[in-house]
Amino acid sequence: MKTVAIAGVGLIGASFGLALRRAGFTGPILGVSSPGAIADALACGAIDAGVPLEEALERADLVLLAQPILRIIDTLGRMAPLVRPGTLVTDAGSTKVHICAQGAALPPGTFLGGHPMAGKEVRGAAAGEAALFEGRTWVLTPSDPAELDAAPAREFRSWLERIGARILILSPTEHDAVVAITSHLPQMLSTTLGVTVDSALTRADQLLAGGPGLIDMTRLAMSSFEIWSDILATNTEPVRQALGRFIETLEAIRARIGDPSAEADFDRAAALARRLRES
Amino acid sequence: MKTVAIAGVGLIGASFGLALRRAGFTGPILGVSSPGAIADALACGAIDAGVPLEEALERADLVLLAQPILRIIDTLGRMAPLVRPGTLVTDAGSTKVHICAQGAALPPGTFLGGHPMAGKEVRGAAAGEAALFEGRTWVLTPSDPAELDAAPAREFRSWLERIGARILILSPTEHDAVVAITSHLPQMLSTTLGVTVDSALTRADQLLAGGPGLIDMTRLAMSSFEIWSDILATNTEPVRQALGRFIETLEAIRARIGDPSAEADFDRAAALARRLRES
């Protein structure tokens, strides 16, 4: 892996450039992005040059697409005539089924889907951090497990390890079902909680009765719809199923409110919360 | 207000003693609690002596009941023959309708319900802090607004202001309906999320796909059932109604998943979350 290109140098793309550099990658890192993003990424040292997509695909051995989901799908669709044999194209999109279906249209062995489970409340290259992926899961989603065995994929995985990421292998379908539960469900609950509180309170000062618990539970509600719009559009059915499952569970727990049997619900949820913090 | 008694010197009770002291209260602060809690509260300087309830009621001008909810109700029930005219009895219980109904059995003007919206993940007097109530809401719940006008109540309010609390006046019924939405609903959502994630994931390593959002949203799930058991037992109907309202809202939002109209839900929830942080 001599040259890397990153399309979309926002928080994730810029952090990947910074992380590679810190881990000892010495080749050129090219950025493909809007002029403003390129300027920010150059300023923080995440990339060495901004280039058009065509030049990036001509020069790079590894191409990371760190754009919004629908932009990734669009970029993949324009890539087939440009990509060189032996180049690995991967991505950082938050849903995988639609992206990996589009990636499968590239020559065999070219595309390997991915999803780093990292983020911050701030966006943009200026917020990039070399340590963003340290100790965080980076999911790889081969449509066929053999995709992981080719030399470019093996080299990419070794760089992921060097930047401190923990690799988790899931199929695209399994990934989308799992993140519908672990990521998209929490987001929708936070948003729905915000809407419910807003509609239920009858006077502005009642909001003063909101404690630290409500603060925690509404942090995700401040997420940008720009990002979530793509996620929900490309994972509609798994998210609907996750919400359906949640509603069924909440109905059952609601029936146990005030009954000592609710202790088992608290115990089970607390055990999950502790496992999550240990994992 | 020359002498104060605090029944239940856990986190809230001990913090109230420390806060009064720091705010300039120089009279004796008596604790009524188990021997272990008294020892901890004496060690951190939250109280000056541990005494039986009878002695506390004989000596104190202000009595704060900072016990679990069902213990507060029990203590109030035993107090009528012991309380002196002119003593103000107040409490720190998280639900108010049942407590204030029991308090109404004391001589008129004796009881004024309260609920400091403060807490920490750690319990016990050793975790007490003089600054715990600073900038936090302390709800007062008179059954009749005239309860706030008597001299002992006015003096108590001035001490609440001196320890930095922000006073919010709600009727007991309004309090319980509001906290069902702002506090009990978030708790039940976090617990239900923990149970849903636990039941939905099919392999232990899928939990690695949980990001910072899931961590936030499951913090409350680690709360002690010992505390929540009393809250849910004394606020069953308002919590059921809050969960019902949430489920209705979630059903509507679920139907809009993948549709651009979901942006209005995100906007409304984000606006609420920001107002909450400014209030």
> Which candidate from A183, A198, A209 shows the least CB-CB separation from B179?
A209
The pLDDT assigned to A119 comes to: 76
CA dihedral for B258, B261, B266, B272, sign (positive or negative) = negative
Whole-model pTM over 0.80 = yes
Write phi, then psi, for B4 (nearest 5 degrees). -120, 140
- CB-CB under 8 Å, B195 with A233: no
A-B contacts at Cβ under 8 angstroms:
310
Return the residue of B nearest to A261 by Cα: B229
- CB-CB under 8 Å, A119 with B212: yes
Scan residues 247-276 of B and list those with Cβ closer than 8 Å to A.
Answer: 247, 249-251, 253-254, 257-258, 260, 262-263, 265-276
Rounded to the nearest angstrom, the minimum Cα separation between B125 and chain A is 20
Contact residues on chain B for A189, CB-CB shorter than 8 A: 189, 193, 217, 250
- Is residue A255 over pLDDT 90? yes
pLDDT in tens, A127-181: 999 999 999 999 999 999 999 999 999 999 999 999 999 999 999 999 999 999 9
Average pLDDT over residues A183-189: 97
The span from the CA of B13 to the CA of A65, in Å, is 55
Residues belonging to chain B: 279
- CB-CB under 8 Å, A214 with B217: no
- For the beta carbon of residue B108, count every other beta carbon within 10 angstroms: 10
- CB-CB under 8 Å, A220 with B213: yes
The span from the CA of A147 to the CA of A149, in Å, is 6
- CB-CB under 8 Å, B219 with A272: no
Per-residue pLDDT tens, chain B, 279 aa: give them: 999 999 999 999 999 999 999 999 999 999 999 999 999 999 999 999 999 999 999 999 999 999 999 999 999 999 999 999 999 999 999 999 999 999 999 999 999 999 999 877 678 999 999 999 999 999 999 999 999 999 999 999 999 999 999 999 999 999 999 999 999 999 999 999 999 999 999 999 999 998 889 999 999 999 989 989 999 999 999 999 999 999 999 999 999 998 999 999 999 999 999 999 987
pLDDT in tens, A202-250: 999 999 998 889 999 999 999 989 989 999 999 999 999 999 999 999 9
pLDDT in tens, A107-125: 999 999 999 998 776 789 9
Contact residues on chain B for A194, CB-CB shorter than 8 A: 268-273
Report the number of secondary-structure helices (H) and strands (E) in chain B. 12, 8
ipTM of this model?
A: 0.93
